[in-house]
Every structure is written in structure tokens, then in C-alpha cells.
Amino acid sequence: MVIMAVLAGVVIPQFSTSTDDTKKSAVQFNLRIVRSVVQTYRGQHGQMPLVNDTQILGDVLTNKTHIDGTVDNTNGVYGPYVDDFPANSFSNSGSIKLITNDPATSGDVTAGGSGGWLYNKNTGGVWLDRDPGYDW
């Protein structure tokens, strides 16, 4: 019984670290993808993705758009840039919080670790909505 307790004390923390490493790798991969498609959008449209009260970044990147950035899956000629907007592997949230800082700061991060991504619509900067992680 004592041996089992000792093994559990050694193995469980290592498994937890391994899980966090996997999540970190996945989120860093998704971050590179999102940053890349934002720049592809910018190259095709001559501006950062149009994000406003009716269009969120995920909608703009997963649908067809006109040159002015409006989403139109019937007549749009650009995109979609990704099939599905990825979720933050740590929170399982694909939400996008608009920020004005570039780069993101710890003050931009959603409290409680429930956020998805941070996005500056003026610069096209994208970061993980997590601390640690906003500075990756």
C-alpha cells in the first residue's frame, strides 16, 4: 500500500505536466495558424479582418468575404481561410476578446482562465487569452 502511494505521488504530477505540455504544443500550433491566416487575409484584402458588432474574427476567417471584408458565403470571393476556428486548448474556448494593446499584456487576459484568444483588430495581433501564455 505504501509503495502504491509513493508511485502515485511520483506518476500523477508527471502525467499532469505531460498533459499541460500537450495542451501548450496544440495551442502554440493553433496560434501560428491563426496568425498566418490573419496575414493571408490582410494580403488579399489590403486590411486586417473586418471585426465589428456583427462580425467576429472567427466568422470572418471561416466564411467567404468580399474585398471590403463583409461576410457573404453566396457571393464572397475570398476565403474561407480555415474550416473551423480553433479553441484554446487550455480552456476549450474559441471566444475572441478584442484588445487595444500590442503586444498583449497580463491585464488583457480574461479572469479565471476561461478565455479563448486575444485580438487587436488594428494590428492583427493574436495571442492566447491565458496567463501564462498571453506572451507566446
Distance CA 118, CA 13 (A): 30
pTM of this prediction?
0.84
Domains of the chain: which residue ranges?
2-128
Q: What share of the chain is helix, strand, coil (3-state, %, to 5)?
A: 40, 10, 45
pLDDT digits (tens, 9 = 90+) for 94-136: 999 999 999 999 999 999 989 999 999 999 999 999 998 888 8
Nearest to residue 59, comparing CAs of 43, 81, 77, 40?
Answer: 81
